[in-house]
Amino acid sequence: MADSSAAGERYDRMELLKAFDETKAGVKGLNDAGVLKLPQIFVRPSEELTEELKHEKAQVQVPVIDLSGIDDGGMRKKIVEQVRSAAETWGFFQLVSHGIPLSVCDGMIDGVRRFHELDVDKKKKYYSRDATESVRYSSNFDLFKSKTAGWRDTLSISANSGSQLLDPHQLPAVCRDSTVEYSKHVEKLGNILLGLLSEALGLNTDFLGKMECSKGHRLHCHYYPACPEPQLAIGTTKHSDPGFLTILLQNQLVSALQVFNKGRWIDIQPVQGALVINIGDLLQLVSNGKFRSSEHRVIANRIGPRISVVCFLSGPFGNTGKIYGPILELITQENPAIYKEIVIEDYLMKFLNTGLDSYRALDYYKV
């Protein structure tokens, strides 16, 4: 096929998307085949690439927060203040001394690597575009809706759905034990963080926990292979996370995660042993805008693979009647509600049925 990146040249995008999807080999399949030129479905629009040149580069680091001493009253107040400041100004921070053993983190990364590096025939049985599947492998959940396909493959795991816990035997054997172990630790950490965030809002420690913000966490295990033309591609397009809170584990191979702050894309430089934490749209909504859900992205690289495990605390997905709105205790005459209430099932289904590059949840729910 001729190079379809030339200006004005037309191509059947849907046909190419279907052909790519039907291989079930993902982006890694292209990488294994030794492609030297980026397939057109992964090339970003020319106007987007032009806009990229306007962004200045900045050597700034997001806050790094140390959780050691969290059980000491004086230290806890200091940590809560650091969390509050980061949540209000950045929406992102890195977390050290988080309590998840290095061996558990390394085991999770290794398990994800082993799954994505299985023979295609062994991965195919998990390949699905059904968002209700508890365990599914795919390349780009929004492949047929986005403007540009991201240079990544993903193993998605719902740790639980409603009151149903995931049966470990549904997990691929190569990452089963490591996923179960990491899931236990990250759920505990999620509840600790929600406690700190509750206090940062001036509420009781268990406030966000009682709202079921941590119920139904999901793991998205991303694999970003080396890219032949990274300047034309994107790993994950700019977006904000739809849930309450996100906990990111990543290998230290390459810096690729960026957050948009004050009109600039800021590299989040990996800190040894740290997890990256960010506020999601739902937490911005229930905090009535006090906490910030920031746009972020993952750039493509010639070096790979970059492996990341994203834990989304998205609330009780599957509970069709659950409603969330700005926390009443935070609403005053001087600080009125700026967001409407949402039904969580409708909210999350809207996210799943929209291209990641065009979804801006909070815009739909402003008063």
Evaluate whether residue 279 is within a structural domain.
Answer: yes
The confidence score (pLDDT) of residue 4 equals: 39
- Residue-wise pLDDT for 235-267, tens only, equals 999 999 989 999 999 997 778 999 999 888 999
Residue in 273, 262, 249 with CA at minimum distance from that of residue 102: 273
The confidence score (pLDDT) of residue 151 equals: 98
- Residue-wise pLDDT for 333-358, tens only, equals 999 999 999 888 888 777 777 767 66
Q: Please enumerate in sequence order all residues whose Cβ is within 8 A of that of 98, keeping only pairs 6 or more positions apart, or say none.
A: 67, 189, 274, 275
Residue in 219, 218, 21, 42 with CA at minimum distance from that of residue 124: 21
Evaluate whether residue 353 is within a structural domain.
Answer: no
Evaluate whether residue 335 is within a structural domain.
Answer: no
Residue 129, domain CATH: 2.60.120.330
Evaluate whether residue 321 is within a structural domain.
Answer: no
Evaluate whether residue 138 is within a structural domain.
Answer: yes
The confidence score (pLDDT) of residue 349 equals: 76
Evaluate whether residue 185 is within a structural domain.
Answer: yes
Mean pLDDT, residues 34-54: 90
Above 70 in pLDDT, residue 8? no
Q: Is 41 exposed, middle or buried (0-12, 13-18, 19+ CB in 10 A)?
A: buried
Evaluate whether residue 165 is within a structural domain.
Answer: no
Q: Is the dihedral of CA 286, 288, 290, 292 positive or negative?
A: positive
Domain containing residue 199: 13-159+175-316
Residue in 96, 107, 118, 105 with CA at minimum distance from that of residue 26: 118
In the chain, the number of structural domains is 1
